Amino acid sequence: MSLLLKKEPAVYVSDRLPAMEELKGVPTRPLDAFETEGLAGLRKGGNLYVKGDRTLGAIRSTKQCLDCHGGNRGDLLGAFSYILRTESK
């Protein structure tokens, strides 16, 4: 989930984690209800939001992030949105 590159938060649609230099070409979609609700909790300082089989995890800035992104250590830069599924054998 991107919070800084677009006017509104957006979720990257990808089967794998794209490299930073690939992000411009990755399609995005608006947040769904789960992600909107979870983002509110992350913005209040939470690091994980879990509901059913879905998880939203915060990406917070570390010292290394500040040169490019600015802000303060621990700022919310984005999030990972997961749907947990059992593996079929």
Average of per-residue pLDDT across 62-76: 85
Judge residue 75's burial from the number of C-beta atoms within 10 Å of its C-beta, 0-12 exposed, 13-18 middle, 19 or more buried. Answer: middle
**Is the CB of residue 27 less than 8 Å from the CB of residue 56?**
no
pLDDT at 51: 95
pLDDT at 17: 75
More confident residue, 13 or 15: 13
Average of per-residue pLDDT across 7-27: 83
Provide, rounded to the nearest whole percent, the portion of the chain with pLDDT above 70. Answer: 100
pLDDT at 5: 74
Helix (H, G, I), strand (E, B) or coil at 30: coil
**Is the CB of residue 28 less than 8 Å from the CB of residue 6?**
yes
Q: Mind listing the pLDDT tens digit for each residue in 37-55?
A: 999 999 999 999 999 999 9
pLDDT at 31: 96
**Is the CB of residue 76 less than 8 Å from the CB of residue 58?**
yes
pLDDT at 37: 96
